Chain A
């Protein structure tokens, strides 16, 4: 009984972390889909989301749903601007230039925003917009934070899937990820579709940033690095470019991390994620839902 309840508790905690990873992983996978780019700056958009929410909560007295809405608009704008300024001029450049630029954008955001008059390099306590409450469900407990994370993630995913599978803009996005040239011949505006992809991905990362900060209320300009890498691994695990793969990958990575912390030692919780990456690359580089990899 003791172990079962401990196991269930770890599952709930794993879902909490996995949900956030899933939200970030979606941005990686969507951008990869349309541009074949690993957007290394994506983890920093997540960080930006956390900071924007921090300022909104600590400086203005506004309801939590507005915090989410404003943060999403701001990170979406950031994603849009980054694509326009840094990536669009490189549309016909070799892929490696784009990749290096993404690393550059990431470093720029981290070090520019860590300046004294901006976010600083310090750890800052994130003001939770509500009191933490624990509900005892006899076998395991669940907090209101976890319930909010589950609910917000579920709503975000439903909206995202509706956008991608039911609207013409989502269908355009999928068409661009399958065959950019033919998509253009269908009358799809490629640049606008790429912009939309960045906007949606960055908005989801913004949501992830808020949720993560509510759960782990310490924020810092470098906070996006590790969750960013882990979410990227989640996207690879699910099959990069595949939307539902990113969701599953995020949940698996979050679960693995929590289970390793809970049953082995928290020392190994980062290491095990990289072991997962090694195993994926070794055994099925195209990921869980990926098809055969074409020979380059």
Chain B
């Protein structure tokens, strides 16, 4: 098992955003977390990355408890993130954005390899290396955010709403990249999505989050046919 989140609770002031969540991530899988707006999906990502400190519980990653560690330490342990809304550096070039993603990699040869590999995966970024990242299209920005996260050489990649603000066609393209990266590089992923349909389609297992609690978990194929999920998230 790659990561085990046990009894994780997070408070924002008096509001409990995440309540006693227990999640397991297996080596090499794509795990999706679906739920409505405000269900606690982004809180989960922000807690794993160390931006938010948990009130209770722990997060074991490769046997190390990372809950409460500084974000840059967690990145160095091998968890990187494609943040919600992409959050690329718009005034920096595509190349500089990618270089920043590799900030924590001290091995120069490895950094070079990652860079070459990422440009091979995303040829559209290669054509735009000198361009300011802010001038890219939404889909290209999402590719850049993914490339930037991959520059950190992750064992676990967190994707926070990768379909946000993208057209259905571009969303499909992005999800095919997610699949490709998972298959070819064997990188495990947690995929947090409001677009439950896409998320369940492209993951092995899924957790359903409601008001900060895990209400359902299992293989994505099963979750997809669960009547409650169909009614609430898949909208027939």
A187→B87 contact, CB < 8 A:
no
With A186-B103, A187-B76, A188-B103 already in contact, the answer to whether A175 and B70 are too (CB < 8 A) is no
Q: Does B173 contact A (CB under 8 A)?
A: no
**Which of B94-102, B184-192, B204-212, B217-225 interfaces with chain A?**
B94-102
Tell me, in angstroms, the Cα distance from A184 to B81 when the chains sit together.
Answer: 11
Min CB gap B59→A, angstroms: 16
Q: Does B71 contact A (CB under 8 A)?
A: yes
Chain A residue at smallest Cβ distance from B88: A182
Which residues in A have their C-beta under 8 angstroms from that of B103? 168, 171-172, 175, 186-188
Q: Does A179 contact B (CB under 8 A)?
A: yes
With A171-B96, A171-B100 already in contact, the answer to whether A185 and B89 are too (CB < 8 A) is no
Q: Does B75 contact A (CB under 8 A)?
A: yes
Tell me, in angstroms, the Cα distance from A182 to B99 when the chains sit together.
Answer: 14
Q: Among A178, A185, A189, which residue has its beta carbon within 8 angstroms of that of B92?
A: A178
With A168-B103, A171-B99, A185-B49 already in contact, the answer to whether A190 and B72 are too (CB < 8 A) is yes
Min CB gap A97→B, angstroms: 19
B104→A187 contact, CB < 8 A:
yes
Tell me, in angstroms, the Cα distance from A223 to B182 when the chains sit together.
Answer: 62
Which residues in B have their C-beta under 8 angstroms from that of A184? 50-51, 70-72
Q: Does A174 contact B (CB under 8 A)?
A: yes
Chain B residue at smallest Cβ distance from A168: B103
Which residues in A have their C-beta under 8 angstroms from that of B100? 171-172, 175, 183, 186, 188
Tell me, in angstroms, the Cα distance from A174 to B100 when the chains sit together.
Answer: 10
Tell me, in angstroms, the Cα distance from A245 to B83 when the chains sit together.
Answer: 31
Min CB gap B203→A, angstroms: 22
Tell me, in angstroms, the Cα distance from A181 to B51 when the chains sit together.
Answer: 7
Tell me, in angstroms, the Cα distance from A174 to B104 when the chains sit together.
Answer: 16
B91→A178 contact, CB < 8 A:
yes
Q: Among A172, A179, A189, which residue has its beta carbon within 8 angstroms of that of B87?
A: A179
Tell me, in angstroms, the Cα distance from A201 to B91 when the chains sit together.
Answer: 23
Within 8 A of A (CB), among B39-98: 49-51, 70-72, 75-76, 80-81, 83, 87, 89, 91-92, 96
Chain B residue at smallest Cβ distance from A182: B87
With A185-B80, A186-B75, A187-B72 already in contact, the answer to whether A175 and B51 are too (CB < 8 A) is no
Q: How many residues of B contact A (CB 8 A)?
A: 23
Tell me, in angstroms, the Cα distance from A179 to B148 when the chains sit together.
Answer: 15
Within 8 A of B (CB), among A175-212: 175, 178-179, 181-190
Task: Name which of B83, B100, B152 has the most chain A CB atoms within 10 A of its CB.
Answer: B100
Chain B residue at smallest Cβ distance from A184: B71
Tell me, in angstroms, the Cα distance from A186 to B99 when the chains sit together.
Answer: 10
Which residues in B have their C-beta under 8 angstroms from that of A168? 99, 103
With A172-B103, A178-B91, A179-B89 already in contact, the answer to whether A186 and B148 are too (CB < 8 A) is yes
Q: Among B81, B91, B96, which residue has its beta carbon within 8 angstroms of that of A185?
A: B81
Which residues in B have their C-beta under 8 angstroms from that of A178? 89, 91-92
Chain B residue at smallest Cβ distance from A165: B96
Which residues in A have their C-beta under 8 angstroms from that of B50? 184
Task: Name which of A174, A181, A187, A188 has the most chain B CB atoms within 10 A of its CB.
Answer: A187
Min CB gap B92→A, angstroms: 7
Tell me, in angstroms, the Cα distance from A64 to B89 when the chains sit together.
Answer: 42
Which residues in A have their C-beta under 8 angstroms from that of B89? 175, 178-179, 182
Min CB gap B131→A, angstroms: 17
Min CB gap A158→B, angstroms: 20
Tell me, in angstroms, the Cα distance from A186 to B74 when the chains sit together.
Answer: 10
Tell me, in angstroms, the Cα distance from A179 to B96 when the chains sit together.
Answer: 14
B72→A188 contact, CB < 8 A:
yes
A186→B92 contact, CB < 8 A:
no
Chain A residue at smallest Cβ distance from B99: A171
Min CB gap B78→A, angstroms: 10
B72→A182 contact, CB < 8 A:
no
Which residues in A have their C-beta under 8 angstroms from that of B96? 171
Min CB gap B51→A, angstroms: 6
B83→A185 contact, CB < 8 A:
yes
Which residues in B have their C-beta under 8 angstroms from that of A174? 92
A185→B99 contact, CB < 8 A:
no
Tell me, in angstroms, the Cα distance from A91 to B46 when the chains sit together.
Answer: 19
Min CB gap B112→A, angstroms: 14
Chain B residue at smallest Cβ distance from A192: B72
Within 8 A of A (CB), among B122-158: 148, 152
Known pairs A184-B70, A186-B75, A187-B103 / 6 extra A-B pairs, C-beta < 8 Å: A171-B103, A179-B87, A182-B87, A184-B71, A185-B71, A188-B103
19 inter-chain pairs at a CB distance below 8 angstroms, sorted by A residue, are A171-B100, A172-B100, A175-B89, A178-B91, A179-B89, A181-B51, A181-B87, A182-B87, A184-B50, A184-B71, A185-B71, A186-B104, A186-B148, A186-B152, A187-B71, A187-B76, A187-B103, A188-B100, A188-B103
Q: 3 shortest A-B CB distances, which residue pairs?
A: A187-B104, A187-B75, A184-B71
